[in-house]
């Protein structure tokens, strides 16, 4: 099978991002062939599928389960890795335009969404290093 023809049920709808969602407040996954069939997405449509809207970023309220994000700021997002790369380049508070395909009822639209980047969690090693540094002070 070609790369685009993979039909791995185990990855279908598998969570790609944390339960808190991405910088848009979305939980997305790869649009597999099976998911395309289930949602009636035409075979020529490529993007990441919205599993759940969990955030409160301005603009995400127009998105829904089953929507397919085709582009972010005119950058195609045919695979989750492409989507994550585009998100990584966005700044906190930046406005992004999503080209979205909605299979039911069929529609293609632009969604204006604000980026909300979460601070990276502190690593346990960082905390231990700071604690050791405090103890080492005279």
What SS3 string covers 46-74?
A: CCEEEEEECCCCCCHHHCCCCCEEEEECC
pLDDT value for 30: 95
Counting Cα atoms < 13 Å in the Cβ hemisphere of 15 gives: 11
> Which of 11, 9, 93 is CA-nearest to residue 48?
11
Give residue 127's pLDDT band: very low, low, confident or very high (50, 70, 90).
Answer: low
Q: Are 115 and 92 in contact (CB under 8 A)?
A: yes
CATH of the domain at 54: 2.30.42.10
For the chain, how many structural domains are there in total? Answer: 1
Task: Say yes or no to pLDDT of 126 above 80.
Answer: no
Peptide bond into 108 cis (omega under 30): no
pTM metric for this prediction: 0.71
Of the two residues 88 and 119, the one the predictor is more confident about is 88
Domain that holds residue 124: 3-136
């Amino acid at each position: 099978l070609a790369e685009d023809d993979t039909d791995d049920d185990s990855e279908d709808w598998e969570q790609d991002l944390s339960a808190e969602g991405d910088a848009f407040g979305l939980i997305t996954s790869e649009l597999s062939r099976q998911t395309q069939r289930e949602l009636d997405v035409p075979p020529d449509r490529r993007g990441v599928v919205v599993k759940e809207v969990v955030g409160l970023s301005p603009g995400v309220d127009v998105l829904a389960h089953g929507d397919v994000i085709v582009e972010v700021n005119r950058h195609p997002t045919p695979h989750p890795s492409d989507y994550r790369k585009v998100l990584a380049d966005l700044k906190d508070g930046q406005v992004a335009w999503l080209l979205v395909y909605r299979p039911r009822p069929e529609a293609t639209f632009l969604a204006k969404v604000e980026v909300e980047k979460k601070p990276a969690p502190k690593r346990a090693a960082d905390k231990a290093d700071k604690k050791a540094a405090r103890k080492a002070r005279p």
